[in-house]
Amino acid sequence: MTLSLTTATQMWGPAVFIVFFVGAIVIVIQAFHFLQFLWFYLFEPSSVRSYLHGPAPYALVTGATDGIGKAVAQELFAKGFNLIIHGRNEAKIQKVVEELKAQGRGDIRYFIADATKSGYNFDQLLEPFHDLHITIVIHNVGGNYMNEGKIDDYSAAELVELVNWNVTFHLLLTRALLPQLRTTAVHGPVIVEFVGSQVADGPMPSMVVYAATKAFLRILARGLNTEERFWGTPSGVRFAYLAVGGVSSAGNPLTVSATQPTAADFGKALVEKIGSSRWNYAPYLPHAIMGSVASWFSDSMVDRFVLGLTKQMHEDRQKKRLHS
């Protein structure tokens, strides 16, 4: 190698040496990233049980009456966490509480709030839980109802509701919870996780605002991680952003496949990775592989792919309408 490199350098000058040198560095960095990826998904032990500290640890899950949120709540309850669950429909949430109680032992509390609405007093909403030892918060509530058209096809009120649903609710709930979480973090680890979407890495036309709200959550998680370490002694409260791909759920009844798991399977994967070493990751391996492959391409290539995909989706929707 040294000989051939020396000979090549003599023949073509220092340019070839620089190409070899930079190439070797790039290969080493990529190999390191690949090994980190393998370690994270295949070997890193789950840390979710380290959040079972204190006499009665609680996990708070928003949007927990169906889909991913319900699956996550079920999984955490089975692991021994008490629960505070959130929904918008009292009868439905009471049914979920009964279902959960039939499956195990533990305390389950709930609160009701329509996340699309503004004007809640979050301190008041959380008052019944102010003395509970909350160690895990999963901000799961959210979604998208803008599947057709451009942003100016929707009213200002509809856009505000979409932002409330995916951003403001999480932001204000986190703000109200933080003092209590910091107190809990004195006794052991505390984590707040935001359920995001891979759409944020390739915003599809007609999902633009939804994608932007998820990107907001990613920056929020990253910034709060540094903020909690900046003012005085680090508080010990950590934040994570979860890049979620397709999941077959009540709100998004996709055909189940290797890349589109059921909400139950996805919930299991999400809970296993709670509190893991990364702050920004896809909890489900096939989503992580898809995200990783997408990151090899330039933004313009991803955007071109996304345009084609959206066109196909709209055509399929149109055909379904014609046949029904």
Q: Could you say whether residue 143 binds ligand NAP (CB under 6 A)? A: yes
Which two three-digit tokens encode residue 134? 């909350």
* By CB under 6 A, residue 168 contacts ligand NAP: no
Q: Residue 168 or 235: which CB sits closer to ligand NAP? A: 168
The span of 28-36, 52-60, 62-70, 309-317 binding ligand NAP (CB under 6 A) equals 62-70
Q: What residues contact 129, with CB distance under 8 A and at least 6 apart?
A: 58, 60, 84, 109, 111
CA 46 to chain centre: 17
- Residue 225 CA from chain centroid, whole number: 15
Identify each DSSP E strand in the chain by its residue range: 57-61, 82-87, 108-112, 133-139, 190-195, 237-242, 280-281
Of the pair 59, 115, the CB lying nearest ligand NAP is at 115
CA dihedral for 280, 286, 290, 296, sign (positive or negative) = positive
Q: Quick check: 207 binds ligand NAP (CB under 6 A)? A: no
Using the rule CB under 6 A, which residue among 44, 114, 265, 303 binds ligand NAP?
114
Nearer to ligand NAP, 38 or 219 (CB): 219
The residue type of 154 is Y
Residue nearer to ligand NAP on the CB measure, 237 or 244: 244
User: Which tokens in the block code for residue 319?
Assistant: 């055909």
Residue 215-244 contact track with ligand NAP, rule CB under 6 A, x = bound? -----------------------------x
Indicate whether 195 belongs to the interface with ligand NAP (CB under 6 A): yes
* 28-36, 47-55, 66-74, 178-186 -> range binding ligand NAP (CB under 6 A): 66-74
Q: How distant, in Å, are the alpha carbons of 41, 249, 274 from that of 232? A: 34, 42, 26
Of the residues 115, 200, 207, 269, which one makes contact with ligand NAP according to CB under 6 A: 115
Closest distance to ligand NAP from the beta carbon of 286 (Å)? 13
When binding is defined by CB under 6 A, the residue of 246, 261, 275, 283 that contacts ligand NAP is: 246
Query: Strand order of the sheet with strand 190-195?
Result: 108-112, 82-87, 57-61, 133-139, 190-195, 237-242, 280-281
Q: Dihedral of the CA atoms 97, 262, 203, 116 (nearest 10)?
A: -20
Q: Which residues bind ligand NAP (CB under 6 A)?
A: 63-69, 87-89, 92, 114-116, 140-143, 165, 195, 197, 244, 246-247, 249-252, 263
